[in-house]
Structure 1
Amino acid sequence: MDTETVTGAGGTEGAGDPGGAAARRREQRGWYFYDWANSVFSTSVLTVFLGPYLTGVAEAAADAAGYVHPLGIPVRAGSFFAYAVSVSVLLSVLVMPLAGAAADRSGRKKPMLGAFAYLGAAATTGMFFLDGDRYLLGGALLVVANVSFATAVVIYNSFLPEIAAPEERDAVSSRGWAFGYAAGALVLVANLALFLGHESLGVDEGTAVRICLASAGLWWAVFTVVPLRRLRDRPRVRRAADGAEPAPRSSWRQLAGTLRDLRRYPLTLLFLLAYLLYNDGVQTVITQASVFGAEELGMDQTTLIGAILLVQVLAVAGALLLGRLAARHGAKRTILGSLVAWTVTVGAGYALPAGEPVWFFVLAAAIGMVLGGTQALSRSLFAQLVPRGKEAEYFSLYEISDRGTSWLGPLVFGLTYQLTGSYRDAIISLVIFFVLGFVLLLRVPVERAVAAVSVTAPGRMPDRI
């Protein structure tokens, strides 16, 4: 294992408290449950059901040429879902930094986490009423739910440096992702049972899909109670610039200060740029895979659910496996290896034969093995690059580089389809995100970046970074 001494003011509050280890473990277990709660939205809603269903609703409302006209703008019905995702994440870019700055400034992360989580859960539950040709309602609920989802994740992620010591963060982050994918798999099993047995239950296929969408919102709401009970707010780090000005103005000022402050840490900025690119590709694959499978490969809903279920199951194992590889080879090297695998996998998706479920399942298995680990290790690696007392601010920038700027991938995907009419061309266009992300991450000297922000406690560096 690599070791290196770095003096800094980081660490976790609990690590230095009497009896802090037990309290920290309790918080960590509560923290995992927010991944358990909200990942069902990402899986059942964004990845499996909403894309094909909302596309079908838009097609039902389309004119003879296959276009819908939101706000008078002609949009091919097959691109509406991708564009709605792009709009939602562009709005997230505006909301997330303000929420992160407000969370750090007020020191009240838990109430803000709860507020955004329950707003998103309510919008998701409201998708039960998405039927007929109500594509605009679907787009509006998607925007509210996805903005709330992304903003809550900013605050959730900002707890990681507070509840885990530097040497724990790869493992804690990986377990959180594993919890999330386990929940996604469990709910997808229930969704699959409902979808396959909808006739025996006396409901049509569309109603079964709407029940699955709404149930994701209810699941999100119920299990958010656990982290809200177990996590605790820390006293905020006071700054000389703190004053009595109104909260929105102070949040804007703090955000501007964060962006100026980030220039002091060019290696952290370089990591964010790399993550912006490669994770944009990851998020677009997640949100558009079911549309690609249904529209281009001719897969039915049962096959799509089964494939995504396979992704969820293997992502649990993949997150834990890549966590172990990171302990041996370093998080950066492990992420770089996963990006090579992503590039190969997306390229294989372009050549996948239509009407062949077996090959679609092979592709799903490949995605599952790298999906959780790429995300978990990126989160824990970034946690090493955050100045103490600015966790939510910096994680708001990270989340912009996560779900926030994943507007670019869906936009490229949607535009490619609109111009070519081919989902194969749309999927292969995502390779550029993985290649450019790999090149930039390769140029990040992680040990120097960690030392620059002094986020580790005095003593040993994390095992391998």
Structure 2
Amino acid sequence: MVPRNEDQHRRPPHNQRLLSVQSTASKHSIVSHSSSFEADDERSTSSESRIMSPRGSIDSSGPVRRYPGEDVRPTSSKELAGWYMYAFAAETYVICAISSFIPILLESLARENGVLLSDRTTPCGDSTRKKKGSHDEGQCVVTVLGIEINTASFAMYTFSISVLLQALLVVSISCAADHGNYRKRLLLTFAWTGSFCVMAFIIVFKDIYILGGLLTIVSNTAFGASFVLLNSFLPLLVRHHPEVKASTAGTVAASEIQGNGGGSESLEEPSTRPKPQRSGSDTTLLPPADEDAESLRLRRLPTHEELTSIELQLSTQISAKGIGVGYGAALFVQCVSIMMLVAMGSSTWSQRVVLFFIGAWWTVFTIPAALWLRPRPGPPLSHEGGQGARAWISYITYSWKNLFRTIKLAGRLVDICLFLASWFLISDAVATTSSTAILFAKTQLGMKPWALGMINVISTTTGVMGAFSWSFISRHFKLKPHQTILGIIAVFEIIPMYGLLGYLPFVQRWEVIGLQQPWEMYPLAAVYGFVLGGLGSYCRSLYGELIPPGSEAAFYALYAITDKGSSVFGPTIVGAIIDASGEIRPAFWFLAALVGLPAPIIYFINVERGKFEGEKLAEVIEGFKDRGNVGIEERHDAVESQGMLAAYDGDDEDNMERHERR
């Protein structure tokens, strides 16, 4: 009996060692401030994927709050519906208003106040007086604030001002969105401000056409700010999604699910597998025989790569559905608007009525988002900023300081830098291709306004298809998100390459193909919409995975600034090409290069690496780490994180070298 008793006393340490590993993992779970998409022990690698834990050992303590006031409730279907509803409400503005009817209305109002450039006395009206061989005649100019500009440029300058103000506003509100309970409040404020401005176009007429420009600036600025805030909800919705929480808690071992007679090998190594208990054993490590058998099942803690994959799939699905819902609403509104124009005639009054309808749509369907979307407050600021106006001054000051800090930190996050560089080119390519194609169709192919409107309808329709189709394509071919983006770019390249076919002599003799006939714009519009539907959702979700948790609004502000800032360069270069060559087709050479350049940059993005680096920095960026309650191993992590921040923020090169050697 003595040997057996000794054997019984020797066995528990094996179980205790197994439980001590679980205890270490649980300890890291409690104090860890990394994203819930990551394994509990953020230092774990794929080689540690065999760690097992008893069922219920992780969840027994309940959700852990990383900061006071954090909403750790699982994402509900109603909350997701609220997120989709704002896309349903606001996407109509960017597709139907700012891309279609606002530019037309602004140009029409400016033209009603303009004169012909040829004599500067003859009113423009609807005249298209243009003598053959004359470059000036027929051009209409208007004086705005003492500056003479082309009436067609009035809308472009208005958009440029709104983009500049939008970038400034996005930066200024990023702190208030990331900290405290302002994220949802600001979203609704900008949503209704923008929608009311669009409805206010109903009172704009010839003599106060400048008011139309002001309403455009305010509405476009508010829309951009609201969508940055909407995007900042996406990582939070995914982080607290039940699927992600279940995956983070671990998966039941397959051998335990199959039972003893399953014949499959246990995930535990034979040396650590507990021996069957004999009758009369005095061990207390196993539960009583009458306890629920569920407690005997073991769960494997998913690796960082597995959790990132789960999170990416969910993020892209939610993002793609949001794009699809928004495009579906925009398609419906666009069709209704065209019918209104046909019924009322193509006058400025009918255009103003259409804009009122678009603004009312934005206003009404923001209400469900206001009711269903949870605030999801962020961590409080580390210092007290006062109350009222003093608090907002503190927020704005902190936002600008945080922007430069974010840029500095982003400069050390390799994958963030790679993505932003590629996104700068992609967003510029999207905006420039659209404007160049419309200009080419109007001037080179002589397409009428109603025909140009059909181009928008076709691209919006295929955009809805693309938002859902690219998700299916990605799953079918088992593509990673960055690989899917590469496929989208390859399809996008068809558009400028098709335009360049018009240079081939034998194609020119055919008088078709290479954008020589107006009908050729329609299949290209379908390709453009199909590309745009997938590109927006995949880029947004991929970037969301690289953002340090707790800094969503700040990094999405950088995302928006990169997006809007790039829109200045492409059109400027295309304009210079047109001025130099006298025609638009040579601009397709530039577009072909602009579309293709992001591909090699996207190829080198490593999502797992970028997510891990971002989560390590999250502790320092928002002060998530509770240094007073960490153990020895956690203190080592804190020192490591501080070393990283010193390498980022410090000017001492010696600190950088010591950090890199570590």
2:77 counterpart residue number = 25
Among 159, 176, 183, the residue aligned to 1:85? 159
Q: Does the Cα contact within 8 Å between 1:101 and 1:255 map onto a contact in 2?
A: no
CA distance in 1, matches of 2:600, 2:613: 22
Cα gap change, 1:216 to 1:230, in 2 (>3 Å):
same
CA distance in 2, matches of 1:168, 1:131: 47
Among 147, 155, 174, the residue aligned to 1:100? 174
CA distance in 1, matches of 2:173, 2:327: 26
2:651 counterpart residue number = none
1:11 counterpart residue number = 36
- Report which of the two has the higher share of helix: 1
Q: Does the Cα contact within 8 Å between 1:44 and 1:184 map onto a contact in 2?
A: yes
Equivalences for residues 255-274 of structure 1 within 5 A: 255-274=403-422
2:494 counterpart residue number = 344
Cα gap change, 1:403 to 1:229, in 2 (>3 Å):
farther
CA distance in 1, matches of 2:483, 2:33: 25
Deviations along 1:333-384, one digit per CA (max 9) or x if unpaired, are: 1111212222321343565778944212111111111111001100010110
1:227 counterpart residue number = 369
Cα gap change, 1:77 to 1:417, in 2 (>3 Å):
farther
Among 27, 36, 57, the residue aligned to 2:88? 36
- Between 1 and 2, higher relative CO (CA 8 Å, sep ≥ 6) is seen in 1
2:315 counterpart residue number = 169
Which stretches in structure 2 are left out of the alignment for 5+ residues?
Answer: 1-31, 38-58, 65-71, 118-138, 240-310, 503-512, 617-662
Deviations along 1:43-94, one digit per CA (max 9) or x if unpaired, are: 1112222233333333443443233343444433333323322222122221
Cα gap change, 1:288 to 1:146, in 2 (>3 Å):
farther
Any idea what SS the aligned residue of 2:597 has? helix
Q: Does 2:606 align with 1:445?
A: yes
Q: Does the Cα contact within 8 Å between 1:46 and 1:287 map onto a contact in 2?
A: no
Cα gap change, 1:177 to 1:152, in 2 (>3 Å):
same
Equivalences for residues 140-289 of structure 1 within 5 A: 140-165=214-239, 166=311, 167-199=313-345, 205-238=347-380, 240=382, 244=386, 246-286=394-434, 289=437
Among 182, 186, 199, the residue aligned to 1:112? 186
Report the alpha carbon displacement of residue 433 of structure 1 after superposing the two structures with TM. 2.9
Deviations along 1:415-465, one digit per CA (max 9) or x if unpaired, are: 55566554445566444432332232233233321222139xxxxxxxxxx
Deviates further, 255-264 or 190-199 = 255-264
CA distance in 1, matches of 2:162, 2:212: 12
Q: Does the Cα contact within 8 Å between 1:40 and 1:187 map onto a contact in 2?
A: yes
Cα gap change, 1:242 to 1:252, in 2 (>3 Å):
farther
Deviates further, 150-159 or 312-321 = 312-321
CA distance in 1, matches of 2:81, 2:219: 25
CA distance in 1, matches of 2:395, 2:495: 46
1:326 counterpart residue number = 474
Report the alpha carbon displacement of residue 248 of structure 1 after superposing the two structures with TM. 2.4
**Same amino acid, percent of matched pairs:** 28
Deviates further, 91-100 or 434-443 = 434-443
Equivalences for residues 448-463 of structure 1 within 5 A: 448-454=609-615
Q: Does 2:548 align with 1:398?
A: no
Report the alpha carbon displacement of residue 129 of structure 1 after superposing the two structures with TM. 3.7
CA distance in 2, matches of 1:125, 1:287: 25
Report the alpha carbon displacement of residue 313 of structure 1 after superposing the two structures with TM. 1.4
2:647 counterpart residue number = none
Deviations along 1:316-347, one digit per CA (max 9) or x if unpaired, are: 11111112233321111111121222232134
TM-score, normalised relative to structure 1: 0.86
Q: Does 2:503 align with 1:361?
A: no
Q: Does the Cα contact within 8 Å between 2:85 and 2:369 map onto a contact in 1?
A: yes
Report the alpha carbon displacement of residue 410 of structure 1 after superposing the two structures with TM. 3.7
Cα gap change, 1:412 to 1:218, in 2 (>3 Å):
farther
- Max radius of gyration: which structure? 2
RMSD over aligned CA atoms reads 3.1
Cα gap change, 1:228 to 1:11, in 2 (>3 Å):
farther
1:458 counterpart residue number = none
CA distance in 2, matches of 1:348, 1:73: 39
Cα gap change, 1:94 to 1:144, in 2 (>3 Å):
same
TM-score, normalised relative to structure 2: 0.62
Letter in 2 for 1:222: V
Any idea what SS the aligned residue of 1:159 has? helix
CA distance in 2, matches of 1:424, 1:47: 22
CA distance in 2, matches of 1:362, 1:154: 32
Deviations along 1:236-289, one digit per CA (max 9) or x if unpaired, are: 224546655633222222323322332331321221121011112213344565
Deviates further, 328-337 or 250-259 = 250-259
Equivalences for residues 392-431 of structure 1 within 5 A: 392-417=553-578, 422-425=583-586, 429-431=590-592
Q: Does the Cα contact within 8 Å between 1:38 and 1:180 map onto a contact in 2?
A: yes
Any idea what SS the aligned residue of 1:313 has? helix
Report the alpha carbon displacement of residue 114 of structure 1 after superposing the two structures with TM. 0.8
Deviates further, 177-186 or 222-231 = 222-231
2:105 counterpart residue number = 53
Cα gap change, 1:94 to 1:206, in 2 (>3 Å):
same
Any idea what SS the aligned residue of 1:329 has? coil
Any idea what SS the aligned residue of 2:322 has? helix
Among 285, 292, 297, the residue aligned to 2:445? 297
